[in-house]
A and B are shown apart, each in its own frame.
Chain A
Amino acid sequence: MSTVLYDAPGPRARRLYRTIGIISSLVLIAIAALVIYQLYKADQFTEEVWEPFVTPRIMELLWQGLLDTIRAAVLAIIGAVLFGIVFGIGKLSEHAWIRWPCWLVVEFFRAVPLVMLIFFVWSLYSLQPDRSYISLVISLVLYNGAVLAEVFRAGINALPNGQSEAAYAVGMRKNQVMTAVLLPQAVKIMLPSIISQCVVALKDTSLGYLILAPGLTTAGRLIWGTFGNYLATALVLLMLYLVLNLLLERLAVWAERRFSQGRKLHVDAVGALGDEERTAAEKANAVRFGPESLGGGGQGRT
């Protein structure tokens, strides 16, 4: 195997690699052993630390938290997709008075920390009894919707110009072009990005902890409040989140292979200057090489 970084290894290099491999395995094993020893020394393997997680009441509490978390994420993504469609298409409008407000809203919600947004929405709902959950979901919709609006815009822009030109040429109206020609194709390209955004939304539901919204992290707070087993509870939460997110990530990879042939959307950073320039360059590339050249980091995730 040869890459940009090194040539195909000869016999000496192969021996060197093997030595480094053995040494680093030993180091990794030593670190693992140290961690286990440290856990053992701090009495983390005792029954009272882990027992709560096999008692039916606590398991039910965690299960309920898991359901609440998933429900919040699902609601947030549904809302965010709708928000994203409206504002993403709004950003592509030919009327400046639609385009500019949409641009402003999208950029604003992408740049503001989600935590701050959550507390702000929370303060707006001061009279509602279950305001924490509502505030969490609304904030997630606003933030993820703004990100998805960018994804929608990029997805529609990634289609070759010929598609809309041909549709106009056969006499379609503007909204027909969008709904019958552009959106169905763009959705395929966008699907992996949308699923990746689900991972982000699911991760961010953990912020419900800060306003005591029902969910996994709040359930965790209850558990260690009772048993004082902070580390064990946090590790259990981590495991639950990891399993969910890794499954979603697998789904995203599958969707990428199935629907968009490994093409990734490039979504710019917030407030990226030279936006116009880059879009122009992308357009030129798309005309010259077709949409495949629109590769990019796809690094929209936080």
Chain B
Amino acid sequence: MDVLIDNLPVILEGFGKTLQLLAVSGVIAMIVGTLIALFRVSPVPVLRRTGTVYVAIFRNSPLLVLILITYYGLPEIGIDFGFFTMITMAMGLYTAAFVAESLRSGINGIPLGQAEASRSLGLTFSQSMSTVVFPQALRNVVPPLASVFIALTKNTSLALGFGIAEASFRSKELLNDFPTSRWWIFGGIALGYIIIVEAISLGAALLERRWRRER
């Protein structure tokens, strides 16, 4: 217990880094993921194919190997934006595949009849999109997106192998320095992750509940 209290500043600093990784790679994942989802539902076959290949590749490759490629491999051919960017890039591109799948399943979950009915009521295409299709898609998308971001939170811990002192890195160091109180260290830092995870799922649940009431 004392170990946790004594090292609280270090641990909190670690979680700060974790959140920073989460935020930056989360933004990359949302942007790229939305783009890929648009590709996957587009009427142009070439784009659809591109989206499918992207998702198949990034969903089936280990995140660690992707980080190895961006962190060690790309600088070899002259692409180097600094190690933080390279790591978040790998995390963002990897997570983008899952984001794209969530968005796509959200859109595909809306029955065709919804669009047909709104068009037959005389709404224009953009009206039917903005008032009928997208609000429902958004509602479908929140729970799977929450699990994607929870997974990303846990995945940020991979950065510990690449010189970023985030929370798991701190836990590894503390385990080394204070082997006798390892259960406290593990439990305490795990609790930090659980708090982040719970915050994400709480946010998602609140959104869902609000929308359910609106309906």
| Residues on A facing B (Cβ under 8 Å) | 1-7, 9, 13, 17, 20-21, 24-25, 28, 38-39, 41-42, 44, 108, 111-116, 119-120, 123-124, 126, 199, 203-207, 209-210, 217, 220, 224, 230-231, 234-235, 237-238, 241-242, 245-246, 249, 268-274, 297, 299-302
Contact of B151 with A by CB under 8 A: yes
Query: What secondary structure prevails in chain A residues at the interface with B?
Result: helix
Q: Which of B43, B115, B172 gathers the greatest number of chain A CB atoms within 10 Å?
A: B43
A207 to B57, CA, bound (A): 19
A301 to B186, CA, bound (A): 24
Residues of chain B lying within 8 A (CB to CB) of residue A111: 150, 154, 190, 193-194, 197-198
Across the interface, name the chain B residue whose C-beta is closest to A240: B65
Identify B60's interface contact among A246, A269, A274, CB under 8 A. A246
CB-based contact A217/B65 at 8 Å: yes
A164 to B102, CA, bound (A): 34
CB-based contact A115/B168 at 8 Å: yes
CB-based contact A24/B50 at 8 Å: yes
| Residues on B facing A (Cβ under 8 Å) | 41, 43-47, 50, 56-57, 59-66, 68-69, 72-74, 76-79, 98, 101-102, 105, 107-108, 110-112, 114-115, 119, 125, 129, 133, 143-144, 146-148, 150-151, 153-158, 160-161, 167-168, 171-172, 175-176, 179, 182, 186, 189-190, 193-194, 197-198, 200-202, 204-205, 208-209
CB-based contact B72/A274 at 8 Å: no
A-B contact pairs, 19 of them (CB 8 A): A5-B107, A24-B47, A111-B194, A111-B198, A113-B156, A123-B182, A207-B158, A210-B64, A238-B69, A245-B60, A268-B147, A270-B147, A270-B150, A272-B204, A272-B205, A273-B201, A274-B205, A299-B144, A302-B151
Query: What secondary structure prevails in chain B residues at the interface with A?
Result: helix
A113 to B194, CA, bound (A): 10
A116-B157, A217-B64 given as contacts; is B198 within 8 A of A6 (CB)? Answer: no
Residues of chain B lying within 8 A (CB to CB) of residue A301: 59, 98, 151
A4-B115, A209-B161 given as contacts; is B61 within 8 A of A242 (CB)? Answer: yes
CB-based contact A203/B101 at 8 Å: no
CB-based contact B65/A123 at 8 Å: no
CB-based contact A115/B114 at 8 Å: no
A28-B46, A123-B179, A302-B155 given as contacts; is B60 within 8 A of A116 (CB)? Answer: no
* A-B contact sample (9 more), CB < 8 A, given A17-B43, A119-B172, A273-B201: A4-B110, A4-B114, A111-B197, A120-B186, A203-B62, A206-B63, A269-B201, A272-B204, A299-B98
CB-based contact A230/B77 at 8 Å: no
CB-based contact B61/A245 at 8 Å: yes
Identify B175's interface contact among A44, A120, A231, CB under 8 A. A120
Please provide the 7 A-B residue pairs with the shortest distance between their CB atoms, ordered closest to farther.
A231-B73, A302-B151, A245-B60, A206-B62, A113-B157, A273-B205, A269-B147
Residues of chain B lying within 8 A (CB to CB) of residue A230: 68, 72-73, 76
A273-B201, A274-B205 given as contacts; is B61 within 8 A of A42 (CB)? Answer: no
Closest Cβ–Cβ distance, residue B136 to chain A (whole Å):
9
